Structure 1
Amino acid sequence: MRALSRRKTTVYTVTDASRPLSEDVDERQRHYLISMGIRMVCFLLAVALWGRIHPVLLGILLVGAILLPYTSVIFANGGRLPPEGADLTDPSELRALPPSPPPPGRSTTGSGENGSGVPPETSP
Structure 2
Amino acid sequence: MKSSTHAQSATSLPRAPRDDVSARSVRYLITMGVRVLCFVLMVVITPYGWYTWVFGAAAVFLPYIAVVFANVGSDGPESTAENPERALPAEPAPPAPSETDDRVIRLTETPRLDPPRERDVPE
> How many equivalent residue pairs?
75
TM-score (normalised: structure 1):
0.51
Larger fraction in helix: 2
1:52 aligned residue: 47
Distance 1:19 1:84 in 2: 9
Higher relative contact order (CA 8 A, sep 6+): 2
- 1:36-83: per-residue Cα shift (whole Å, max 9, x none)? 10000000000001x415x22111111111100111123323455497
- Asked if residue 67 in structure 1 is aligned to residue 65 in structure 2, the reply is no
Q: Aligned partner of 2:52: which letter?
A: L
Distance 1:77 1:84 in 2: 18
- Asked if residue 16 in structure 1 is aligned to residue 17 in structure 2, the reply is no
Write out aligned runs for 1:80-119 (5 A).
81=75, 84=80
For structure 1, the residue ranges without an aligned partner over 5 or more in a row are: 1-8, 86-124
Segments of 4+ moved more than 6 angstroms: none
Q: Aligned partner of 2:27: which letter?
A: H
SS of the counterpart of 2:8?
A: coil
2:118 aligned residue: none
- Asked if residue 40 in structure 1 is aligned to residue 45 in structure 2, the reply is no
SS of the counterpart of 1:68?
A: helix
Percent identical across equivalent pairs? 33
TM-score (normalised: structure 2):
0.52
Distance 1:10 1:77 in 2: 33
For structure 2, the residue ranges without an aligned partner over 5 or more in a row are: 82-123
